[in-house]
Chains A and B, each alone.
Chain A
Amino acid sequence: MAQLVIIKPKNRFRLADLAEIWQYRELLYFLTWRDIKARYKQTIVGIGWVIFQPLITMVIFSLFFGKLVGMPSENVPYPIFVYTGLLFWQFFATSVNDASTALINNMQIVTKVYCPRIILIMSSIMAHLIDFAAAAVILIGLMLWYGYLPSLFNLLMVPILVFFTFLIALGSGLFLASLNIKYRDIGKILPFFVQLFMYLTPVIYPPSIVGAKYSWILALNPMTGVIKTARSELLHTYATNWLQFGISAAACLVILVIGWLYFRHAERYTADYI
């Protein structure tokens, strides 16, 4: 019962910080719930908008890149090819955009009450899991339509890939949200850069068109690993390239560590600067 709180000038890493995230799990749950609930209040279509966006994007991309350009799509129909990519990409893109403004948007909480602030960033990402789940329904429909039946092992890879995407978004989000404390430019320009970044990720094209010589550059982008693996597991485009997945996983870890270290550094002045 008796807790001991020691307040000192911010010090080095303590394991207690990680345990604290677990202690505050109900806060994570409630903030996620708040974000989801508040997002669709006073809308008619509500969560339906979540399906609408990737669906229309998929139709347009299929029309332009699939039909008109004749983009190769690893021997699977282009619509399901691009939708698999879009599904994971949108989860990542919306998460990073929201995570980067999570501290600023919760300024009142940051400046008036104590809580592990990483929770604010985590919850802004978790709130998009529900969007992912809703949009995944379309993928299931496409898979049934085109007759792709994944095995149990294939399906087990999906939560792992979602978790990976979560970690990549968390690492980037921690870094960008902390940077946003000092430089509000981040919030203004980030959505544009995230959009650009999609073209550096094999969402609308297969990585093969880049050529073997430069494929390692793509692999350094951890979202490449996620999307490629999702396609090979669910659509059986080819055997999963575990080496490339490993490179992406390592890149993900690097992003997470850098993001977290910078976040901890910035935490010393977060409440004063914001």
Chain B
Amino acid sequence: MDTVIEVKNLGKKYDLRHLDLRNFGLRERLAHPLAWLKRRANKKEEFWALQDINFSVARGEVVGVIGRNGSGKSTLLKVLSRITPPSTGEAIISGRISSLLEVGVGFHPELTGRENIFLSGVILGMNRREIAKRFDQIVDFSGTEQFLDTQVKHYSSGMLVRLGFAVAAYMDADIMFVDEVLAVGDVEFQKKCLAKIAALVKEEQRTIFFVSHNLETVRDICTRVVVMGKGVIDKESNDVGAAIDYYLRNIF
């Protein structure tokens, strides 16, 4: 088996005390020095958003991550996408990464659709040549041909989502991290995106790491499910149906 993601003892700690102190400006510190010192001394308010996360993913797998709000799904994706560093452990990822944590990252409202395809593509990690090569496909998939030279501030939200997804989907990547981004488009477009993801897995052996609240989607496209609960992995299984049932049983 060709491992592309290897996660060992990964943990992410947030210091709530620290976040709290942020609201303690200079004025408050001077006005209430005792309250400030007391709060500073309180070391117990640590919050582990992720703890002891261990798993590995092989090439071509589609891993669905499910769990309640606040179970650490998005934090995990942020750590794996290198947006925020972990507090403990490590993750080794071999291959080119494309993160789709939000559609249309880097879009500038004043620029045209054409300009934004290049801008967003470069921000995602492509180079100009690659984007130019894929340009027609991106436009075709998003169906924005008619508005290519219109500033995107005049686009409908649906058009923006389509264009944003298309740029990310056509990036030449080995591994794709996808957060709950498809929830924003209409049903038809969601289907189109899922079909695209399935095609990428099949044709390019792409590995997808996918966070979703939509259990139907997970059932349809995932080959493995990770159930998260309170910052730890609750269950992990190749039996997608069983994992989803487990999750549903524990929710209610």
Q: Which residues of B contact A268 (CB under 8 A)?
A: 85
A-B contacts at CB below 8 angstroms, number: 99
How far is A8 from B79 in the complex, measured between Cα atoms in Å? 9
Q: Using A3-B96, A8-B90, A9-B88 as known contacts, say yes or no to A113 and B111 having CB atoms under 8 A apart.
A: no
State the main secondary structure of chain B at its contact with A.
mixed
**A265 at the A/B interface (Cβ < 8 Å)?**
no
**A114 at the A/B interface (Cβ < 8 Å)?**
yes
Could you show 8 A-B contacts with beta carbons less than 8 Å apart? Answer: A7-B92, A31-B123, A34-B111, A34-B119, A41-B110, A113-B106, A114-B83, A271-B84
Q: Please report which residues of chain A, range 105-120, place their CB below 8 angstroms from some CB of chain B when the two chains form the complex.
A: 108-115
A186 to chain B, nearest CB (A): 13
Chain A residues bordering chain B, tally (CB within 8 A): 32
Binary per-residue interface labels of chain B (140-184) against chain A in the complex, 1 for a CB within 8 Å, 0 otherwise: 000000000001000000000000000000000000000000000
**B99 at the A/B interface (Cβ < 8 Å)?**
yes
Q: Please report which residues of chain B, range 57-100, place their CB below 8 angstroms from some CB of chain A when the two chains form the complex.
A: 78-97, 99
- Verify B93–A5 contact, CB threshold 8 A: yes
How far is A269 from B99 in the complex, measured between Cα atoms in Å? 19
Q: Which residues of A contact B124 (CB under 8 A)?
A: 113
- Verify B88–A114 contact, CB threshold 8 A: no
**A10 at the A/B interface (Cβ < 8 Å)?**
yes
Identify which of B91, B102, B122 contacts A7 (C-beta below 8 A). Answer: B91
Q: Which residues of B contact A272 (CB under 8 A)?
A: 14, 84
A12 to chain B, nearest CB (A): 13
- Verify A273–B101 contact, CB threshold 8 A: no
**A42 at the A/B interface (Cβ < 8 Å)?**
yes
Q: Which residue from chain A places its CB closest to the CB of B102 in the assembled complex? A: A112
Q: Which residues of A contact B119 (CB under 8 A)?
A: 30-31, 34
Q: Using A7-B85, A9-B88, A271-B84 as known contacts, say yes or no to A113 and B123 having CB atoms under 8 A apart.
A: yes
B24 to chain A, nearest CB (A): 12
- Verify A114–B97 contact, CB threshold 8 A: yes
**B202 at the A/B interface (Cβ < 8 Å)?**
no
Chain B interface size range: 35 or more
B87 to chain A, nearest CB (A): 6
How far is A7 from B106 in the complex, measured between Cα atoms in Å? 24
Q: Using A37-B115, A112-B105 as known contacts, say yes or no to A7 and B93 having CB atoms under 8 A apart.
A: yes
Binary per-residue interface labels of chain A (119-135) against chain B in the complex, 1 for a CB within 8 Å, 0 otherwise: 00000000000000000
- Verify A113–B128 contact, CB threshold 8 A: no
- Verify B122–A108 contact, CB threshold 8 A: no
Q: Which residue from chain A places its CB closest to the CB of B106 in the assembled complex? A: A109
Q: Which residues of A contact B94 (CB under 8 A)?
A: 2-5
**B118 at the A/B interface (Cβ < 8 Å)?**
yes
How far is A115 from B124 in the complex, measured between Cα atoms in Å? 8
- Verify A109–B123 contact, CB threshold 8 A: yes
- Verify A7–B90 contact, CB threshold 8 A: yes
- Verify A115–B78 contact, CB threshold 8 A: no
**B133 at the A/B interface (Cβ < 8 Å)?**
no
How far is A113 from B106 in the complex, measured between Cα atoms in Å? 9
* Given contact pairs A3-B96, A4-B94, A110-B83, a sample of 13 additional A-B residue pairs in the complex whose CB atoms are under 8 Å apart: A4-B92, A6-B93, A37-B110, A37-B111, A38-B110, A41-B151, A112-B102, A113-B123, A114-B82, A114-B97, A182-B22, A271-B78, A271-B83
